[in-house]
Amino acid sequence: MQTILITGASDGIGAEIARQLAHSNKQQVQLILAARQLERLQAVATSCKSLGAQVLVVPTDVSDPEACRQLIAQAVAHFGGLDVLINNAGISAHALFSEVAAQDLAWYENLMRVNLWGSVWCTHAALPYLQQRQGRIVAVSSLAGLVGVPGRTAYSATKFAMTGFFEALRTELLGTGVSVTTAYPGVVDTQIRYHGYNAKGQAAGVSGLKEDGAMSVKTCAALIIEGMTLREREVVMTFKGKIGRFLKLIAPSLVERLAWAAVKKET
């Protein structure tokens, strides 16, 4: 029986990962669902329980290091160990850097605390238990963590930081049996961009990216689960993402133009 902890599990990719894990496991799975919004977490938990999963709900703000430590402690105390940690919690943001006033730059730091430090704090607390079971670590980054996207300076910074941290950690854990999988979704059909920050650090209410051809949440979650199961190093989603990563090495100016083309004209 696998014990799997998912942050950012109240909505979007995290909630769908939880549902798919509950549905697909031949043996009963034990899930720890963490996020800030208790009611949404409970709704996801109810659907997972109906599929046969055992579920522990832990309301958690991953921007608080003590909350991250308590999350892992509660998970281990309840289920006796941990096999998988899926670092999915994150906040989006879209604003041209020149539009951000000096007094509003504090939200850049808030974004880093959630997207990067939340993953670091949870991973640090969980690592001893994952090593005991030769478990798996999953980091849900973004294609914006491989290629800088205009209007996404804050978001790209957090996701590039995640990329570097988990790449280094993967190397440190060679020979321990613990795998590190970093997933790089592109535009996914969720509400994350609508809830993310605008230039003033407020909920944007709109997406700054073109949504044409957005990947479904189901497909994204399935690709992440597959990568986790196979202990893949990276899951780069979409053909454009894969070719863009290659072109960045040989034609960086072309990649920059393509990245700008992905931004809505009114931005």
Question: Which residue is catalytic, options 108, 155, 184, 197?
Answer: 155
Q: Who contacts 207 (Cβ-Cβ below 8 Å, separation ≥6)?
A: 94, 193, 194, 264
Nearest alpha-carbon partner for 179 in 83, 72, 71: 83
What tokens does 166 get?
């988990």
Distances (CA, A) of 218 to 125, 131, 141: 29, 30, 17
To the query of whether residue 197 is one of the catalytic residues in this protein, the response is no
User: SS3 string of the chain?
Assistant: CCEEEEECCCCHHHHHHHHHHHHHCCCCCEEEEEECCHHHHHHHHHHHHHCCCEEEEEECCCCCHHHHHHHHHHHHHHHCCCCEEEECCCCCECECHHHCCHHHCHHHHHHHHHHHHHHHHHHHHHHHHHHHCCCEEEEECCHHHCCCCCCEHHHHHHHHHHHHHHHHHHHHCCCCCCEEEEEECCCECCCHHHHCECCCCCECCCCCECCCCCECHHHHHHHHHHHHHCCCCEEECCHHHHHHHHHHHHCHHHHHHHHHHCECCCC
Query: Which residues form the catalytic set?
Result: 155
